[in-house]
Amino acid sequence: MLNNKTLLITGGTGSFGKSFTRYILNKYKGIKKLIIFSRDELKQYEMQKSFSKKELDKLRFFLGDIRDKNRLETAFEDVDYIVHAAALKQVDTAEYNPLEFVKTNILGSQNIVDACLKSNVKKVVALSTDKAAAPINLYGATKLCSDKLFSAANNVKGKRNISFSLVRYGNVLGSRGSILSTFVKQSKRGFINITDERMTRFNISMKDAVQMVDWVLRKSIGGEIFVPKLKSFRVIDFAKTLCPKCKIKKIGIRPGEKIHEEMITSSDSYNTFDLNKYYAIVGNYNEKTYKFYSKYKKINPENSLNSLKNKFLTKEQLNKIIKENLYLINN
């Protein structure tokens, strides 16, 4: 698919971007160019040092901000595919800095859509979050709005050969600011903070997240929100499995935080298809896409994918995934 093609990753110096870059370079030897688009020059410099000379021959580092539409238009010249991973994502920070999140997560997303429609980009896959499903916090609200912008872009593309799709998943273990990286840092001081012992979350490994985005790049046709089939975990079980001897401190729910998360709301369930490994939420306003997925079985109406009502990881499974993803903490 990527032979002699150019792929650009926004937010490419983040945890996902770095993992996805290595995955792509290893899998698609014939890729023409892979562009890392991000706003932090130091992270770009450090990322460059982690690749071999042979790998760097395929890589390009492009300094810019998704808030700057003109810069995006320049970056997207001769680009075939885009994975949009750039975002502001800290829930409590968003509550105190709402306009900054709006500028990046909403206006920045629209800038990407506009720049794509002025270029020859063939496909865009944007990363979403479970917090965009029935959001109660500012971060989730901005990502829901971003999701709507990318989905709606399929209806204003005219005759252009381009599609926009989304990937929605939960906590990516080992990513910067994730529950794993936060708890590991705290455990070194002999304690772990949890906000509420009832709290549950979805979990996805970095490996599975990367492979899913690759799958969506190859299989999506436009207008879908793809959701992986994930198990849940109780945050307190995660903390005790990671560090059995650590003291557990209950600090109370942070601003904007949910006790339980959703991946598919009951309203979305009416337009959700089961693709075996993944689900696809397809808005019925996109007739072509809806017709394509109608050959798949729909999930039961009003069945939300909720982290409390979901299947839970066992202690053994938790221990296994923690060990498998610890390597990401220091990368």
Whether residue 236 is contained in a domain is answered as: no
pLDDT at 285: 65
- Cα 110 from chain centroid (whole Å): 17
CATH number at residue 292: 3.40.50.720
Whether residue 154 is contained in a domain is answered as: yes
> Could you tell me the residue range of the domain that residue 27 belongs to?
6-170+204-231+264-304
pLDDT at 304: 87
* Cβ neighbours of 144 (radius 10 Å): 19
Whether residue 240 is contained in a domain is answered as: no
Whether residue 210 is contained in a domain is answered as: yes
* Cβ neighbours of 285 (radius 10 Å): 13
Q: List, in order, residues 6 or more apart from 8 with CB less than 8 Å away.
A: 34, 35, 37, 62, 75, 76, 79, 81, 82, 83
The residues annotated as belonging to the active site are: 131
pLDDT at 326: 81
- Round to whole Å and give the CA distance between 328 and 18: 10
pLDDT at 85: 97
Whether residue 221 is contained in a domain is answered as: yes
Number of domains observed in the structure of the chain: 1
What are the residue ranges in the chain where pLDDT is below 70? 284-285, 330-331
Q: Evaluate whether 175 touches 181 at the Cβ level (below 8 Å).
A: yes
Whether residue 312 is contained in a domain is answered as: no
pLDDT at 102: 98
Whether residue 177 is contained in a domain is answered as: no
246 HSE (CA, 13 A, CB side): 23
Whether residue 111 is contained in a domain is answered as: yes
pLDDT at 331: 60
pLDDT at 145: 98
pLDDT at 302: 79
pLDDT at 39: 97
Distances (CA, A) of 114 to 57, 66, 91: 30, 11, 27
pTM of the shown model: 0.95
Distances (CA, A) of 315 to 213, 232, 236: 28, 12, 11
Q: Render pLDDT for 268-319 as a digit per residue (tens, 0 to 9).
A: 999 999 999 999 999 766 778 888 998 999 998 878 899 999 999 999 999 9
